[in-house]
Structure 1
Amino acid sequence: MVKSKNGFKDNFLWGGATAANQCEGAWNKDGKGISTADIQPYTKGINRKSLNFNHVTKQALDNFMNNNELFYPKRNGVHFYDRYEEYFDKLEDMGFSCFRMSIAWTRIFPNGDEKKPNKKGLQHYRNVLTSLKKRGITPIVTMSHYEMPINLVTKYGGWENRKLINLFLNYCTVLLDNFHDLVKYWIVINQINLIQYESFGSLGILYDKNNNYLEQQFQGIHHQFVAFGLVKSYAQEHYPDNKIGTMLADCILQPYSCRPEDVELAFKRNRMQYFFGDVQILGNYPDYALQYFKDNNIQLKTLPEDEKIIHDNLADFLCISYYYSYCVDAYKNGMDPADTTKNPYLKENEWGWAINPSGLYVTMSNYWDRYHIPMMIGENGFGFEDKLMDGKVHDQYRIDYLKKHIKALKQAVIDGADIFAYCSWAPFDIVSAGTAEMSKRYGYVYVDYDDFGNGSGKLYNKDSFYWYKKVISSNGEEL
């Protein structure tokens, strides 16, 4: 027997997470190509509980790309591309020991299929990573975070096309070759399991109800599994000190009631969420997934070598994003992962999020029991319409949310889970991934831009800024 844990390990990494497409801006600067994120418009009065940029048809794509009357917030972000040093000053002041960021594929390969990378893009990210290193902040880098080159959608059909495996591998090997000395932790694909909400951004597959869209999605996922294996193999051979991880959005469900039907449906739905981790961490397609494919007339096109690539190249760590929890009612819901029921015991915010801190403890404990590999929190946060008054933002609601979630995470650690990092979403305000609005704010730092990119751009510390600084300095003891 070993001594029980009493809290976070001494070298625990505290920080925050962002995505290039939500913060960088400079969408056509220094040779950058156009990405799937660059054509997501913002519409005033949008339904905040819906995601209108997932099932994108060919007609919608043409409209998004050629409509000069639309406003595209992610083309501006919060001007992080040119102002990253200012933002890093804030992170350093809070005492960050890590920062999760993504590299925009279109800054390295503007169209995704060039033979040689864009040197200006490589130099930019070397400058960014070097700045982090000088400040003693460990970068955790996502290679693909909902911003694939639009050319790969229109020319190749997205990840359904097997050709994307080698195109993506070429991109990832360039990142490893150029930044292996500055980056230890790599996340290959952001939230690979979130196909019910991010099929266009992550897979680049256009929605066509006349085809088996579910089959197209899982074909794309299979190609991403193979690509992950090849990236891991390359890193292991050339840069064994680099760690290659996979990332899942937590979609683990609770049964709506103790009715056997609810419990069974939740169990079946949860297995199809574990599927994505089972393949990349355990190394095989599980039987329950093969039966799911059969039931849904999904026939994947594979090559004989795919099985060995997946089996031999497992993830070094698991990254989890957690915001809220879900329920499933067998009388109302089916196997569609987007089909859920409200939890009557939880309150929802205006974006429909049922806040459940104890769910984080259950989630991380379940993943640890299933996989027994190092884990990190890659995203966890509370979006809200903050009010700036006299240069201050009093966001006790955010402090309350984060305090309860960190406490739950700590309990998972005490109970044995190997968790090495916590990255809240996001350390400073950025454009929302789902609704493309600026009003849905997460940061410890208020960024003075509105939904249409207007504002001074000044940075203001919120109350949560000073709270999180104490959390970091006390290694999670002072909440």
Structure 2
Amino acid sequence: MFNQVQLLMEKTYITFFLVSFFLFLLSLVRSNEEISRSQFPRGFFFGAATSSYQVEGAVFEDGKGLNNWDIFSHIQGNILDGKNADVADDHYHQYEEDFELMHSLGMNSYRFSISWTRILPRGRFGDINPSGIKFYNKLIDSLLLKGIEPFVTISHHDIPQELEDRYQSWLSPLIQDDFEYYADICFRNFGDRVKYWITINEPNLFSDLAYMRGIYPPSRCSPPFGNCSSGDSDTEPLIVVHNMILSHAKAANIYRKYYQVKQGGYITIVPHAEMLVPISDAEADREAANRAMAFSAPWILDPLLHGDYPPEMRQYLGDQLPTFSPEEVNIVKGSIDYIGFNHYSTLYAKDCIQSSCDSGSSRAIQGYVYITGERNGTLIGDVVLPKHSYDSISKLLCGS
């Protein structure tokens, strides 16, 4: 019988296991010992990840509605080479072949995202699309037949265009109820087989690219970050992330209240986690690196673990940073069962409080930190390096 006590015990065990296993990996890294798959514990997940818009294609098939990327990618000048993902990898039609390839590679897990508009073509303002439900049921069943565990992301940078047109999507608190409604449909239809849920992928990175730099839809920004037709790069990313955190919390609350005990799964949110190192040995640059780290993954994780944004963000952003009401803190704090994050590379951090930087870095929204991948004309190193992931995990778990 799966009950709340058992769930708490399993969550405690998972946390203990992850920390213990991290220390095991740490010992291997420090000893320069080669790591083979046989050294990993039984049940360890090896896999890959995609997002629906990047791989599915079938943009106009089986009742799917238009999302933000469907519109954005068809506007001339938005994509460098003018391409779009109308077909992409054609995963919608070839997923069984794709899963056979995954199985042949020895993968035992696969993280994918559900297309919001394949389930709800117009968000809450239209009907549920039965063809979308059918597709993801077939996809999940096919994965499980191959012995591949599904890790399912509910929202990965795509959103019904209807919600953008009606109330500016993530800029409005109205999005919270829309997301909760959509997540509930996912839990109800797929949760009997999905044990690992991710509500939202990289809210901090999405807000940066879409609402600070304006290079993702809905292309909102302001100088010096860009010259979009509308937007405010200093405030809108903060509003967007705030609504995303509350949307996650409401979805997690629904999951725990109605589904988790019966279905026995786990839920989280996945931020983008940068690793920042000081560009020099100067104390100001060391402080800048720590400050920039607080503006990365902790921007998302601190409210979920502690009930508020990092103190560094409060210090430098002041009233620009939204606040959580006591009622919101009650549902936000503790609303994750496990921690996940995406990491790409390590970057240099330069202080812009005591030193001069360009105007784009000398702003509160950036923590008054200039971030770059090179120093004195030399790149920091390989774009992708295992050590970068190790450093990022070490910083998040151990603080050093």
What TM-score bracket applies, with the shorter chain setting the length?
0.7 to 0.9
Please state if 1:306 is matched with 2:328.
yes
Tell me, in whole angstroms, the C-alpha distance in 2 between the residues paired with 1:348 and 1:85: 41
Q: CA deviation at 1:131?
A: 0.3
Tell me, in whole angstroms, the C-alpha distance in 2 between the residues paired with 1:346 and 1:83: 44
Aligned-partner residue type, residue 280 of structure 1: L
Tell me, in whole angstroms, the C-alpha distance in 2 between the residues paired with 1:232 and 1:304: 17
Query: 2:40 matched to which residue of 1?
Result: 8
Please state if 1:269 is matched with 2:292.
yes
Q: 1:291 aligns with which of 305, 310, 315?
A: 315
Would you tell me which structure has more helix in proportion to its own residues?
A: 2
Structure 1 gaps, min length 5: 43-60, 371-411, 413-479
Pick closer, same or farther for the CA change 1:365–1:346 going to 2, 3 Å. farther
Please state if 1:151 is matched with 2:191.
no
Q: CA deviation at 1:34?
A: 1.1
Q: CA deviation at 1:126?
A: 0.3
Pick closer, same or farther for the CA change 1:40–1:160 going to 2, 3 Å. closer
SS of aligned partner of 1:112: strand
Query: 2:348 matched to which residue of 1?
Result: 327
Q: 1:227 aligns with which of 247, 257, 272?
A: 247
Aligned-partner residue type, residue 66 of structure 2: I
Aligned-partner residue type, residue 170 of structure 1: Y
Pick closer, same or farther for the CA change 1:78–1:339 going to 2, 3 Å. farther
- Percent of residue pairs identical: 25
- What's the CA shift string for 1:222-248, capped at 9, x where partnerless? 111111111111111222211111112
Please state if 1:196 is matched with 2:208.
yes
Tell me, in whole angstroms, the C-alpha distance in 2 between the residues paired with 1:359 and 1:317: 21
Q: Are the counterparts in 1 of residues 201 and 270 from structure 2 also a CA contact under 8 Å?
A: yes
Q: CA deviation at 1:147?
A: 1.2
Query: 1:397 matched to which residue of 2?
Result: none
Query: 1:281 matched to which residue of 2?
Result: 305
SS of aligned partner of 1:73: coil
Tell me, in whole angstroms, the C-alpha distance in 2 between the residues paired with 1:205 and 1:238: 37
Please state if 1:34 is matched with 2:66.
yes
Q: 1:248 aligns with which of 252, 271, 293?
A: 271
Q: CA deviation at 1:39?
A: 3.1
Tell me, in whole angstroms, the C-alpha distance in 1 between the residues paired with 2:216 and 2:382: 22
The alignment's TM-score, normalised by the length of structure 2, stands at: 0.77
Q: Are the counterparts in 1 of residues 275 and 388 from structure 2 also a CA contact under 8 Å?
A: no
Q: Are the counterparts in 1 of residues 57 and 87 from structure 2 also a CA contact under 8 Å?
A: yes
Q: 2:50 aligns with which of 18, 31, 46?
A: 18
Q: Are the counterparts in 1 of residues 123 and 163 from structure 2 also a CA contact under 8 Å?
A: yes
Tell me, in whole angstroms, the C-alpha distance in 2 between the residues paired with 1:345 and 1:97: 43
Tell me, in whole angstroms, the C-alpha distance in 1 between the residues paired with 2:131 and 2:382: 40
Q: CA deviation at 1:345?
A: 9.4
Structure 2 gaps, min length 5: 1-19, 26-38, 224-229
Pick closer, same or farther for the CA change 1:198–1:346 going to 2, 3 Å. farther
Query: 1:342 matched to which residue of 2?
Result: 373
SS of aligned partner of 1:74: coil
Pick closer, same or farther for the CA change 1:304–1:147 going to 2, 3 Å. same
Q: Are the counterparts in 1 of residues 343 and 389 from structure 2 also a CA contact under 8 Å?
A: yes
Tell me, in whole angstroms, the C-alpha distance in 2 between the residues paired with 1:347 and 1:35: 40
Query: 2:337 matched to which residue of 1?
Result: 316
The alignment's TM-score, normalised by the length of structure 1, stands at: 0.65
Tell me, in whole angstroms, the C-alpha distance in 1 between the residues paired with 2:91 and 2:231: 40
Q: CA deviation at 1:289?
A: 2.3
Query: 2:175 matched to which residue of 1?
Result: 164
SS of aligned partner of 1:292: helix
Query: 1:93 matched to which residue of 2?
Result: 104
Q: CA deviation at 1:142?
A: 0.6
